Amino acid sequence: MTSTFTPVALEHASRLLNHGPTVLVTSAHGDRRNVMAAAWSMPVEFSPPRIAIVIDKNTFTRELIVASAAFGVCIPGAALADLTFAVGSCSGHDGDKFARFGIESLRGPVLGVPLLEAGCAAWLECRLIPERHTEDAYDTCFAEVVAAAADPAVFADGRWNFRADNAALHTLHHLGAGNFARASDVIRARPLQAG
């Protein structure tokens, strides 16, 4: 599969996460691979771009990330709500979710991690930052973003652009129990006059 996304300048990579979307975390090591949903991710540094993401240390995804020191963060659009819930509701220990759900992926340009584009708004390819004091005690992983790309229909010039004609790519925000809110109805702030 060939990428159809437009590269995102790394100084804008944090903007892909700063509005708090549910993400799909992809990982691989050797011939094993996995994809899971995660609701807790955020940018933590601008330059170089770094993120934090919560991935339970007992999951198959975490096992693969620790072994490979790399992972992908794919940002599903609203059209992938069912798939996002499905991959977040079963374990990769029980079989390859890519095969089970017919998920196509491409190889990341820097680290070769599996990345999803069909139905996604964007992706980030990440290198794990070893944090010895947190690896055994906490579920939070820190990573440096080494590549990022987005569908120009919804993210261009370093900004999200949610419109009616790209609603299938509006990001998902997990509310619990399989319920998601879709980013939409953007409100533009106006400058306030000092009183």
Mean pLDDT by 10 residues, the chain (195 residues): 90 75 97 95 92 93 96 97 96 96 98 98 96 73 97 95 95 88 83 83
- Residue carrying structure tokens 């949903």: 37
Tens of pLDDT, residues 15-24: 776 668 999 9
pLDDT for residue 13 = 81
Cβ atoms of 75 and 151 within 8 Å: the answer is no
CA distance 21 to 171: 6
Report angle CA 114, 160, 170 to the nearest 5 degrees: 65
Beta-carbon count within 10 A of 23 CB: 29
Q: Show the domains of the chain with their CATH numbers.
A: 6-182 (2.30.110.10)
Cβ atoms of 166 and 153 within 8 Å: the answer is yes
Percent of the chain residues topping a pLDDT of 70: 95
Per-chain mean pLDDT for the chain? 92
Q: Position 69: which residue type?
A: A
pLDDT for residue 135 = 61
Question: Cα separations (Å) of 145 from 68, 119, 128, 185?
Answer: 15, 21, 9, 29
pLDDT for residue 64 = 97
Question: Cα separations (Å) of 170 from 56, 100, 143, 156, 193?
Answer: 26, 25, 25, 14, 32
Residues of the chain by 3-state class (helix, strand, coil), percent to 5: 20, 35, 40
pLDDT for residue 165 = 96
What does the DSSP 8-state code read for residue 170? S
CA distance 57 to 137: 9
Tens of pLDDT, residues 97-127: 999 999 999 999 999 999 999 999 999 999 9
Q: Which two tokens stand for residue 183?
A: 């980013």
**Predicted structure pTM score:** 0.88
Cβ atoms of 101 and 60 within 8 Å: the answer is no
